[in-house]
Amino acid sequence: MCEVDSPFRSPNASSVHHFVDERQAIYRIARYRQWVGWAFAGTVTSQFVALICGALWNYIYNVWEFPGWLFPSYVFVYLISVLSIPPIILFSVVSGFALTRCLTNSVVATVTAILICIPVISLVTLLLLYEFSNQMLRKEGLEIGQLGSSARNIFKQLQRR
């Protein structure tokens, strides 16, 4: 699928690449890294909103009477946040597996996909995967900022080589 030299790969692994294939592999890493960034942002947002809505519900329900005019909007926000969690987790698993598969092998990618299904561990796993891919792209000589770079900019940098 994606073949780029990795510190996790054994030294005996074949590293003979055509230049075009290597550029395509680096582009795939950049694209999947962008997906992981979006997955991380979506996971943080949906879990934060669900947590705040749950805490707000417990506080208002136990301390005050819940105002009737606030109930429909509260339920809408809470349901949207809770219903968005499964698709975001699925997207996180797919993007994390794809990026890890490009960087290492299928076994590590499968373990990563399993770790992404665990709520708090998923955030740490996605963040570490994002940072590892940034380091890999910097090692290839590409300009990556603190928040990364878009796959389109990386493709332009690869074309200049």
**Average of pLDDT values for 103-113?**
92
Considering only CA atoms, which of 107, 77, 96 is closest in space to residue 37? 96
The pLDDT tens digits of the residues spanning 12-61 come to 444 434 445 777 888 888 889 989 999 999 989 888 887 787 777 666 66
Alpha carbon distances (Å) from 95 to 28, 56, 74, 157? 11, 32, 31, 23
The pLDDT tens digits of the residues spanning 118-131 come to 888 999 999 999 99
The pLDDT tens digits of the residues spanning 64-106 come to 666 666 667 667 777 877 788 899 999 999 999 999 998 888 9
What single string gives the DSSP state of each residue in 41-96? HHHHHHHHHHHHHHHHHHHHHHHSPPPTTTHHHHHHHHHHHHHHHHHHHHHHHHHH
Tell me the pLDDT band of 10, cut-offs 50, 70 and 90. Answer: very low
